[in-house]
Structure 1
Amino acid sequence: MPYENNRIMLDRAKNMLNRLREEIYEPIGSLNVSAWITQEPVPYEARTSGTLKQLKPGDKWGELWDCAWFHFEGAVPDYANKPLRRAVLLIDVNGELCLVDEAGSPRQGLTNINSEFETALGLPGKRVVELAQPGEDVAGQTIDIWADAGCNDLFGRYRSGTLKEAQIAVCREDVRKLYYDFEVLIELAEQTDEKSARRVRVIQALYEASLKLSVINEATVKAADGKLQPQLSKKGGDPMLTVSAIGHAHIDLAWLWPIRETIRKGARTFSTVLRNMEKYPDYVFGASQPQLYLWMKEYYPKLYEQIKQRVREGRWELQGAMWVEPDTNISGGEALVRQILYGKRFFRQEFGQDIQTLWLPDVFGYSGSLPQLLRKSGIPYMMTQKLSWSVYNTHPHHSFHWEGIDGSRVLTHLPPEDTYNGPAAPRSLSKIEAAYLDKNVSEHALMLFGIGDGGGGPGEEHLERLAREHDLLGLPPVVQEYSLDFFRKLEREQDRFETYRGELYLEKHQGTLTSQARNKRYNRQMEKALRELEFTASLALALGGTSADYPSEPLERIWKETLLYQFHDILPGSSITRVFDESLERYAVLLAETTELLHTAQKRVAELAAADESQTLAFNSLPWQLERTIGRSGEHSTVSLPPMGFTLLTEEHRLDANLLSERTSQLKADPHSLENEHLHVTFGAQGGIVSLVHNQREMIAPGAEANLLTVYHDRGDAWDFPRDYRDTVAGRMELTGSTARIEGVSAILEQHYRFGESTLVQKIVLEAGADTLRFETAADWRESEKMLRASFPVQIRSDQVNCEIQFGYLKRPTTRNNGIEFARDEICAHQYIDLSQPDYGVALLSDSKYGYSAEGQTLDINLLRSPGYPDPVADRAEHEFVYALYPHAGDFVQAQVYRKGYELNTPVSVLERTSDGTQKAAAAQVGETTFSLIQADHPHVMVEAVKKAEDSDHLLFRLYETSGTQATTSVTFARACAEISETDLMEQPIGPDQGGIATVQDAPSVRLTFDPFEIKTLRVQMK
């Protein structure tokens, strides 16, 4: 025996492991199964309203996404009542199942054993229902169990729709224990150095234990156990690395299933967690996303109270400070603030806890603005692991300080196992120790274990393994604890960590910057519409309105639903068809409601301004003066709009025919060119721009043609398109006709295109006096696995392109000199992307596009793509979008390009009032025909948001520095203020000792100094 080959001995142990697995459960009876099938979920009270089927294993009960209430009935038969045996149920309906109690509240989640999952991390299935403790006599006990089922696996797949198993069984507890002993020691041996004494002794013990099990009975199991216990009892010495472990069930709020199924996934997952906490006293679990908790509160209040009890006990960690785990590339800056505001407020109000960790395990890149948002929200820590998915380059750290564009830093950790679905096996601990990039300076690492994405969470196998690995010789010790406790340990080592500056770019999933274009456009529209509504309602308060004039309740409700759709598989476009069918329908409702609330607020402003009931009000929510020509009722008015205020249009503003003609005298339009005072644009035979002269300077590269609508083959999925797409040109959209006209104050060239089954109409608009060329586009896109892009080769040379992100911009390389630059070809930008020399530049603006490329002297925008998975009809639809070209003197800071981006996305809002009521004197209360709520005298300070405070009647003003320089500005309000102070992003006051300003009283203005890209929030009590 001492000379037996180690490989042979280990193989024998693995074979024995399989035998032991089959011996754990002994069926002793069958359950009677009834099912009431419906297409959509019905509540417990209506559980018998569907189509009734009596089932036995092998019988089909549903199609994909069908629902059913199952009723399991039976009685426990007589069986040998021994201390090492206990009664259980084995249930598998080839779907997801939630057992409920007599009141219909979730009791335990079960999942079909066969599911689409990375099985190397463990089997996701859960099929065992406990009936008794070992030795407890339950013979004759009646079984009467109801369960809510979905005919889909964890990942939305269809697994035959048949009942697989419904049995009463005996669990042989001694065999179950021995099975996990074998499993852990086999993996320990495989993870240990081949020449180590530890390895060969473990293998020898496994081999000798296997020899005892020729027949598996109580005596042989006990004998085998005696061979293994000496190896399981060997402890480690002083650790070089300690692993903090926490149970987790990352739940995508929508992905390969609709939102309605996520609510039930939450109930199944969380009820399973609660049952396992009863069995395993060391078990610590954590879950993020207040939206998910809110659903539990609304749909399963009894379950929610049980969760709250475990939180109070310190067994359940509240994770993640955001309302959902959102995409952070595409979501707007103020939206990210609201993610944190509503997320932290929920946990504080419901649980009395202030969350200090950003929990984003699975998003597709991390904006360089995030560190400041976190620091100004009281969040010093961040956890993610997605950077491990990068294709070409390895992120250099697992523990590091992440520094944002403004210099703010947060302590960041990437679990070295590179997953949030850890099996909690010896291989997990071995990988953490081997892979941890910062183990030279850190003695602590984090491990997340459990089944995620589709939910489910940790099962028996995870917790049984951890019980054996706590301090097992050959592995780093592991302790179950809160991730916050881990971060506090990590913080004690932070002086030794390196700093990583700028965005955390994921070298994968760049297709999500473009997929599902309609969703992205609606998101931009909602962000802007909510900004307009809050600003206008705040105007009403400033003009003497009351709290009743501010729609706090609908605003919070609409914001939270908008934030839900920013989840990282909805806004990025990586979910199934039904998710987008439903989100588009809801977006339309939300936008209509927001627009109606805006009109109501505008009318209230008009009333408070005592405007004539027939007068028109023009609103400007941007913090600089705008000169605009407004068309209404067949007439045109030219008006100077004050910053962040409104103007009452009078007869003096009207342009008569002569003035209109004078205003448009330099406009020219024909099928080959457009021209005004500043721009002369020439078009080629295929519709592209062959020349664009701005103030006598040619902007198009010699011999090149801009805005050719190029179609590429795109055989990727919603996440990714081929890196070499440029080498697979499918063709260009063919110009089928064009017409030119002067319309009002605009010269318009309307071009019609066709490609395959798709058509596109583009109105190229040049307004009188404007220096921006707009491309107003309507596309009926019917192509499959194709990508539509427009490029602009320009006569500007720069090694860096300027890309607007939330609350600032990033400079990214236009070169491809190394692997990092090569991997970052597709980049994210919000309202503009700009290529500038010191003396000149060109900006590309957009109202809803986020995917760009900038290489050499070419700016390129990704307009549409139509992948086939997971939504087979993605973006085969009608689309509307606008992009614009803005050539400018000076670099992009001197040209204030950011303002052009805001102006494209924030048009002037006009309220026309027609009434036969009694006329009033215009602006009787305001005192003049214009009103400006707030003005900042520095050109690079933007007022991003104006809103009422959440917990008082103060007005809040959110400002930030846009150019990356220090800026000092006077901020002046419409009237004297009783008090002006500063808050953090959570609307909590901060004074000079915390970096805020000293409170100013009885003054109309305050002087502020901004560091580069700094965000400041003023809290103002107006008189």
Structure 2
Amino acid sequence: MHITDSLTIERAQRVLRERIAPAVYSQTAPLTVEEQRLSGEPIPFDKALEGTFQPHAPGSAWGAAWGTTWFRITGAVPAEWSGRTVEAVIDLGFDTRMAGFQCEGLVHRPDGTAVKALNPDNQWVRIADAARGGESVELYIEAAANPVILDRDHRFAPTDEGDVHTSSPALIYTTRRIELAVFEREVWDLLLDLEVLLELVVELPVEPRRAKILQALDDSLDALHLQDIPGTAAAARAALGPVLAMPASASAHDILAVGHSHIDSAWLWPLRETRRKVARTTSSMLSLLETDEDFVYSMSSAQQFDWIRKERPELWGRITRAVADGRFIPVGGMWVESDTVMPSGESLARQFLYGQRFFDREFGERSRGVWLPDSFGYSPALPQLIRRAGFDWFFTQKISWNQTNRFPHHTFEWEGIDGSRVLTHFSPMDTYASTLAGDELAKASRQFAESRVANESIAPVGYGDGGGGTTREMLGRAARLSDLEGSPRVRWASPDELYARAAEVGTLPVWVGELYLEMHRATLTTHHQMKWGNRRAEERLLEAELWAATAALRVGADYPYDELDELWETVLLHQFHDILPGTSIAWVHREARERYAEVLGRADAIIDEALGRLVGEGDQRIQVNPTPFAIHATPPGGGAADSATTDAAATTLVRRDSSFVLDNGVIRVVIDQSGHIASAVDLRAGRDIIPAGTVANRLRLYQDFPNKWDAWDIDEFYRNAEHEIGEVEHIEADVTNATAGVFVRRRISDSSTVEQRLSLAPGERVLQIEQTVEWHETEKLLKIAFPLDIHADSSVAETQFGYVRRPTHTNTSWDAARFETSMHRYVLIEEPGFGAAVVNDSSYGFDVTREPGEHGSVSCLRISLLRAPRYPDPLTDQGTHTHRLGLVVGADIAAATRHGYLINAHDRVRTGERGFDPLVEIVGDGLVVSSVKLAADRSGALIVRVYESLGRRSRGHLRARFAVASAHEASLIEDVGAPVEQDESGVILDLAPFEVRTLRLSPIAEM
């Protein structure tokens, strides 16, 4: 850069900062400020009016953490301001570097209608476009004193401020400027002109265009009188006019700007506060929509719309009108922006069902694409589910956060485990909170990977995470960047436009498999109680649907549609990508634990009611099991019992030397004096899965202090500091339960212990490990290790409706970066014809390494159990935790699938007069019934979801054990499709590998 160029830029930056920005508001007049502090939860506007307001002098402290203060602001526009644009300028004590992470306010008129939000980048309220002079001013501000959990560099520190139960009562904010002011539009326009050109010139190479802009900057500043900015702003703008009027080149990159605010449904604030953040943000966006005819705004998450519908009717009416006009765009089609790695396949189906059903019911339209800018990796099952739910496209940008490898595409086809493809776009800006700054635009143009075949990318424009959305400054930038030489062209548009044109491109690149995020791997483990609660709630709601549907069709019981909807919506909300991953403040997790307990209790009540109706009154012992591998209700009403336990040999437990030997005729397990698994032999194959000289069930403790994001990250160097938990305090044979076992108690540290019961059921090939950990560690990671004498090039881990294979080697940087990966109910390590699996009831993170053995490499599988990060929740994982694991000896995918289901569900025993038949039965290798429920449209039809679990083509039948009037295909969200083929054995099922099918069976109505 030439020295004179640098001087011009420095000159313009200083004048802009020190003279022009302060001159946007010229004359000022005082306002009278009063306050009403609330001691508890927020109250609505009408209740606030009933309270007592006290004088508040700007410069005074207000707001304890998580408290609410209502401010009343009154005054009058000076008569001499007639014809001028007047605004109230209100600074509640903002730090302009931290939008969304501190105090905020919502401005109301005296009639209670919301006007707009106040936040660090929105400190104004329009009073009059052209004042008459003398107008009275009366505004009410609901101000939230949300504490700053992040520091100014967006770093964390352990804090007690993350829960209202532990936060300080001290006042944490101080009001500053609260006054009326004349808004100088010409000065504001000059400010934006200069900002856009300064940012552009920094990005431009040395060329004539750059020189012309630099000269225009000098000319503009020469025309500006620093002691009369308002009076000379027009002349200064005139000097910039010619360079701002130069059009973009024909080949310039096109950016479709989408107004946006990625509002985390919970994170550094509780759900209660998110509801207010949504109201604040939408009020401001509606105001912008009403003043700028080009602007369009998008919002995801049906849950957030529903909060507005229920709590802010005056905003809701404006939103529905804006949606009808195509200006306020519902995107995503999900209940919330969910995590997509840990929720079950059924949960993802319900995210789409409840999201699209809401948009359809309230707006008469559905989202065409799935919008997930900030989730922590994306399951390879998603493409099929997206397409089967009726969506056309998928959007994110989060993979740009990869630590190691740069993702090679921006517009591409994403192929899932079943071969389904979905058109996908990543924003090349690498942000979901664009401000349309020059460096963002240049980055998008420079990085866009598909420039040979396409020319458009999306920019989600607006402050996010903590809300705020698009600002009028961003609208001003967009207007200047719509056709500007040296810059990409910017225009406001619906994201559907990009995908419509991308679909017309001939050949796009294809990415096959999961979109693995090389970051935030610890979210699979952090806050085990979130994982345990989610898994239990998913399992229990599916069971409640099954038995309630059975009772409805068998004995005419009422199906609890409303209650099941409410419970599912609660579970879906808590699958938000900062709740289920365990990365929120303590308040969020405390409430989530309470909600999970409530869901489980209410689901159990539905189950008890349904089973009571089904078995009737009596004293016969009726045993029921909801899993697809053991659906039964015996005796005496039929339904197959779990054949694997029929006529099985009893398990023997023998003390041999210092070891315990468990033998049930299928496998033989030796547990040594340290409680480790010294041997696990498949008696049919004559093969021990434990490598010679090693033991399994080894608990290992690691130092866990990632470089940046405590609750989010496991960094690879954690393996360098490993401590094995070997000391046994107590070990003994345990024959008190129905299955023989061994009890072991170990001490992890002075304050943490672990107790295990290792048991073997008759006739089964799974050694169960029931574990209770009293955990009081700091910055530690607990894993359980299973060395396996199996040479495997890949691991097989269950994902939604199938599994994913991942290399166990580190040949490439992509392989090496997957040092912690996800599973659902099982991980299988196999050679051709033989394998072993570990199944679990509440874990999602694991790793596999290859280690030297006697005859080539062996595999070591480690399941991640607990962590102890200190922020944002300093009490993460502290307390008592239970895990159920199972080591399946001699396993294949079918066995791993079966035992994964069984360890997550339990037989229920009732007394009654009769058993009952299951509603449906399925025949065919690898075919699994995922859910049985009544249709969401409340027609009384039965919805049955089936999937192929083995990764190969399978043919079979679904037999309904009730009178069926008609059988149809359905979409994942239960839209009725074509009739299905049937024969004398039932509905014919011919499924491709991992194919998911939804069937709708309408019963014959009773006469």
Give the TM-score of the pair, scaled to structure 1. Answer: 0.90
Partner Cα distance (2:860, 2:924) in 1: 32
Q: Check if 1:198 corresponds to 2:209.
A: yes
Partner Cα distance (1:260, 1:336) in 2: 24
CA pair 197-460 structure 1, distance change in 2 beyond 3 A: same
| Cα deviation digits, residues 7-43 of structure 1 (max 9, x gap) | 1112111112112001111352222222211232111
2:97 equivalent in structure 1: none
| Cα deviation digits, residues 119-138 of structure 1 (max 9, x gap) | xxxxxx210111111xx234
Q: Check if 1:725 corresponds to 2:718.
A: yes
Identity of aligned residues (%): 34
Query: Contact between 2:586 and 2:872, CA under 8 Å: does it hold in 1?
Result: yes
The size of the alignment, in residue pairs, is: 956
- Superposed counterparts of 1:746-765, under 5 Å: 746-756=739-749, 757-765=751-759
Match of 1:144 among 138, 145, 153: 138
- Superposed counterparts of 1:409-428, under 5 Å: 409-428=421-440
Q: Check if 1:715 corresponds to 2:705.
A: yes
Partner Cα distance (2:884, 2:340) in 1: 23
Q: Check if 1:704 corresponds to 2:714.
A: no
Q: CA deviation at 1:754?
A: 1.2
Query: Contact between 1:646 and 1:932, CA under 8 Å: does it hold in 2?
Result: no
Q: Check if 1:100 corresponds to 2:96.
A: no
SS in 1 for 2:902: helix
- Superposed counterparts of 1:249-398, under 5 Å: 249-398=261-410
The one-letter code matched in structure 1 to 2:678 is: V
1:937 equivalent in structure 2: 923
1:445 equivalent in structure 2: 457
The one-letter code matched in structure 1 to 2:595 is: R
| Cα deviation digits, residues 334-379 of structure 1 (max 9, x gap) | 0000000000000000000121100000000101111111111110
1:211 equivalent in structure 2: 222
Q: CA deviation at 1:204?
A: 0.4
Query: Contact between 2:24 and 2:188, CA under 8 Å: does it hold in 1?
Result: yes
1:121 equivalent in structure 2: none
Match of 2:980 among 975, 988, 997: 997
Q: CA deviation at 1:222?
A: 2.2
Q: CA deviation at 1:1004?
A: 6.3
Match of 1:860 among 838, 862, 869: 862
Query: Contact between 2:25 and 2:183, CA under 8 Å: does it hold in 1?
Result: yes
Partner Cα distance (2:640, 2:481) in 1: 62
Query: Contact between 2:651 and 2:662, CA under 8 Å: does it hold in 1?
Result: no
Partner Cα distance (1:844, 1:283) in 2: 53
Partner Cα distance (1:243, 1:600) in 2: 56
SS in 1 for 2:174: coil
Query: Contact between 2:379 and 2:514, CA under 8 Å: does it hold in 1?
Result: yes
Q: Mind listing any 5+ residue stretches in structure 2 that lack a counterpart? A: 95-102, 152-160, 162-170, 851-858
Partner Cα distance (2:549, 2:263) in 1: 37
Q: CA deviation at 1:679?
A: 2.8
SS in 2 for 1:803: strand
Q: CA deviation at 1:525?
A: 0.5
The one-letter code matched in structure 1 to 2:727 is: E
Partner Cα distance (1:645, 1:263) in 2: 48
Q: CA deviation at 1:641?
A: 9.8
Partner Cα distance (2:392, 2:738) in 1: 52
Partner Cα distance (1:908, 1:428) in 2: 56
SS in 2 for 1:302: helix
Q: Check if 1:840 corresponds to 2:827.
A: no
Query: Contact between 1:36 and 1:48, CA under 8 Å: does it hold in 2?
Result: no
The one-letter code matched in structure 1 to 2:898 is: R
| Cα deviation digits, residues 619-657 of structure 1 (max 9, x gap) | 2323345799xxxxxxxxx9899658999xxxxx9x9xx
Query: Contact between 1:751 and 1:761, CA under 8 Å: does it hold in 2?
Result: yes
| Cα deviation digits, residues 707-749 of structure 1 (max 9, x gap) | 1111111113110022111111245253211121223431121
SS in 2 for 1:182: helix
Query: Contact between 1:977 and 1:1004, CA under 8 Å: does it hold in 2?
Result: no
Partner Cα distance (1:92, 1:761) in 2: 53
Q: CA deviation at 1:489?
A: 1.7
Q: CA deviation at 1:82?
A: 5.6
Q: Check if 1:788 corresponds to 2:782.
A: yes
SS in 1 for 2:419: coil
Partner Cα distance (2:661, 2:369) in 1: 54
SS in 2 for 1:331: coil
Tell me the C-alpha RMSD between the 2 structures: 2.3
Query: Contact between 1:372 and 1:404, CA under 8 Å: does it hold in 2?
Result: yes
CA pair 665-492 structure 1, distance change in 2 beyond 3 A: closer
2:58 equivalent in structure 1: 57
Q: Check if 1:242 corresponds to 2:254.
A: yes
Query: Contact between 2:184 and 2:230, CA under 8 Å: does it hold in 1?
Result: no
Partner Cα distance (1:583, 1:155) in 2: 20
1:537 equivalent in structure 2: 548
Query: Contact between 2:548 and 2:606, CA under 8 Å: does it hold in 1?
Result: no
2:954 equivalent in structure 1: 967
Query: Contact between 1:645 and 1:933, CA under 8 Å: does it hold in 2?
Result: no
Once structures 1 and 2 are overlaid, which stretch shifts more, 951-960 or 880-889?
880-889
2:510 equivalent in structure 1: 499
Partner Cα distance (1:153, 1:178) in 2: 35
Give the TM-score of the pair, scaled to structure 2. Answer: 0.92
Partner Cα distance (1:431, 1:698) in 2: 56
Q: CA deviation at 1:87?
A: 4.1
SS in 2 for 1:178: helix
SS in 2 for 1:265: helix
Query: Contact between 1:782 and 1:876, CA under 8 Å: does it hold in 2?
Result: yes
| Cα deviation digits, residues 130-174 of structure 1 (max 9, x gap) | 1111xx234222111111111026877889311122111111121
2:47 equivalent in structure 1: 46
Query: Contact between 2:271 and 2:588, CA under 8 Å: does it hold in 1?
Result: yes
Partner Cα distance (2:104, 2:367) in 1: 31
Q: Check if 1:819 corresponds to 2:801.
A: no
| Cα deviation digits, residues 193-220 of structure 1 (max 9, x gap) | 12x1111100100011111224334442
1:692 equivalent in structure 2: 680
Partner Cα distance (1:318, 1:625) in 2: 42
Q: Mind listing any 5+ residue stretches in structure 1 that lack a counterpart? A: 114-124, 629-637, 648-652, 914-921, 924-928
Match of 1:1006 among 956, 962, 987: 987
Q: Check if 1:220 corresponds to 2:225.
A: no
2:14 equivalent in structure 1: 15
Partner Cα distance (2:246, 2:312) in 1: 45
Q: CA deviation at 1:705?
A: 1.8
Query: Contact between 2:630 and 2:641, CA under 8 Å: does it hold in 1?
Result: no
Q: CA deviation at 1:424?
A: 1.2
Q: CA deviation at 1:98?
A: 0.2
Q: CA deviation at 1:69?
A: 1.2
Partner Cα distance (1:759, 1:802) in 2: 31
The one-letter code matched in structure 1 to 2:967 is: I
Partner Cα distance (2:86, 2:628) in 1: 72
Q: CA deviation at 1:245?
A: 0.8
2:32 equivalent in structure 1: 32
Query: Contact between 2:555 and 2:614, CA under 8 Å: does it hold in 1?
Result: no
| Cα deviation digits, residues 225-279 of structure 1 (max 9, x gap) | 1111111111124234321111100000000000000000001100011112222
Partner Cα distance (1:289, 1:938) in 2: 38
Partner Cα distance (2:237, 2:370) in 1: 44
Q: CA deviation at 1:1018?
A: 1.3
Q: CA deviation at 1:52?
A: 5.2
- Superposed counterparts of 1:500-539, under 5 Å: 500-539=511-550
Partner Cα distance (1:52, 1:87) in 2: 23
The one-letter code matched in structure 2 to 1:89 is: V
| Cα deviation digits, residues 931-988 of structure 1 (max 9, x gap) | 2322222131000000001111111110000001100002212144222221111212
Query: Contact between 2:323 and 2:330, CA under 8 Å: does it hold in 1?
Result: yes
